[in-house]
Amino acid sequence: MNAITSAKQEQVNVTTKASLSQIELTETVGNIYADDAKMSIRNANVYYGDKQAIDNISLDLAKNQVTALIGPSGCGKSTFLRCLNRMNDTIDICKITGQFTLDDEDIYAKSLDPVLLRARVGMVFQKPNPFPKSIYENVAYGARIHGLINNKAELDEIVETSLQKAGLFNEVKDRLNDPGTGLSGGQQQRLCIARTIAVSPEVILMDEPASALDPIATAIIEELIDELKEKYTIAIVTHSMQQAARVSQHTAYFHMGKLVEMGKTEDIFTRPSHKLTENYITGRFG
């Protein structure tokens, strides 16, 4: 698993938009493997009914690092992310094949309870979606349902530390009983992150966590992501190339359900190997 494949250079000489879609993708270029993989995905395919949304994708999520999934709209990056904590199980027509492991454990094994998996692999959504409850209850929710606490003092402790880790505690400590929906968009999103952290997950999946936020709130979230990677493995879907460049250590470029290129973030953004990646990050496509 630690072997490193040499980047396979494809002979691609086309630059016009019209011919881009005709490029035949054969194999992912770059390096999909991580030295210390928290999650590994091999030959993943996802179908919605007859439509194939993900086509034979393999990659690793490096432990305690941030992996950014980028690509044009509809390329399957969100679908892929949702496979990592089996959120797609709730969609009836969705069919998933391939091998998904978390710490070398098959997460699609029959014996594995998706409910327990989701406690280990948390998720932050595109639009801030706090429960219509108080700030305190929002964070306490996960701890309560997983029975992580024995008394009120422990719960207070979890709520406080989670809010602190999400960088929200100082702003809300005097109004923990106010409704979470009354916060600003950026604060709501940090509340959702705090809520996710409160369950002590190992991996956090973020689906465009800053796309609904203003630049200042976005900057705060990005700083937070950078701090969170000390304790958690993070995968983030983003439409912002700058954001991917700022927060991630690894970047995967998706195109029409396929993984085109993956590698260290600085390599992808300075020396993309694949023509499609280059066109996308230079703004010529997507």
Partner 1 sequence: MNSSLLFFVLLGLTLFSYWFGVQRSLKVAGGAEHKKELTSLPQQFGLLTAMVCGLPALITLLIFNSAEQIIVEQLLISTLPANIQSLSSVDIGLYLNNIHAMASSESATNLLQGSGISSDNYVQTQYQAAFTLQELNQQASWLKTALVLIIACVSVTVLVRKFSLTYQARQKSESIILALLVASSAVAILTTIGIIISVLFESIHFFKSVSPVEFMFGTQWSPQTAMRVDQVGGSGSFGAIPLFAGTMLITFIAMLLAVPVGLMIAIYLSQYASAKLRAFAKPMLEILAGIPTVVYGFFAALTVAPVIRNFGESLGLSVASESALAAGLVMGTMIIPFVSSLSEDAISAVPNSLKEASFGMGATKSETVLKVLLPAALPGIVGAILLAVSRAIGETMIVVMAAGMAANLTANPLDSVTTVTVQIVTLLTGDQEFDSPKTLAAFALGLMLFITTLGLNVLALKVVRKYREQYD
Q: Which residues bind partner 1 (CB under 8 A)?
A: 85, 87, 90, 92, 115-120, 122-123, 125, 127, 129-133, 141-142, 145-146, 179, 181, 192, 195-196, 199
Rounded to the nearest whole angstrom, what is the least distance from the CB of residue 119 to partner 1 in the complex? 3
* Cβ nearer to partner 1, comparing 117 with 172: 117
* Cβ nearer to partner 1, comparing 29 with 140: 140
Tokens of 87: 């959120």
Q: Using CA atoms, how far apart are residues 260 and 273, in angstroms rounded to an integer?
A: 10
Rounded to the nearest whole angstrom, what is the least distance from the CB of residue 282 to partner 1 in the complex? 34
The strand ranges marked E within the chain are 29-30, 37-48, 51-62, 66-70, 94-102, 105-106, 121-124, 203-207, 233-237, 250-255, 258-264
Rounded to the nearest whole angstrom, what is the least distance from the CB of residue 115 to partner 1 in the complex? 5
Q: Using CA atoms, how far apart are residues 101 and 38, in angstroms rounded to an integer?
A: 8
Rounded to the nearest whole angstrom, what is the least distance from the CB of residue 133 to partner 1 in the complex? 6
- CB 200: neighbour CB atoms within 10 A? 17
* Cβ nearer to partner 1, comparing 128 with 272: 128
Rounded to the nearest whole angstrom, what is the least distance from the CB of residue 230 to partner 1 in the complex? 21
Rounded to the nearest whole angstrom, what is the least distance from the CB of residue 87 to partner 1 in the complex? 6
Rounded to the nearest whole angstrom, what is the least distance from the CB of residue 11 to partner 1 in the complex? 43
Q: Using CA atoms, how far apart are residues 243 and 53, in angstroms rounded to an integer?
A: 25
Q: Using CA atoms, how far apart are residues 190 and 128, in angstroms rounded to an integer?
A: 8
* Cβ-based burial of 10 (10 A; exposed 0-12, middle 13-18, buried ≥19): middle
Residue 180: name the closest of 139, 122, 210, 146 by CA.
139
* Cβ nearer to partner 1, comparing 30 with 130: 130
Residue with tokens 């709130």: 217
Tokens of 113: 């309870």
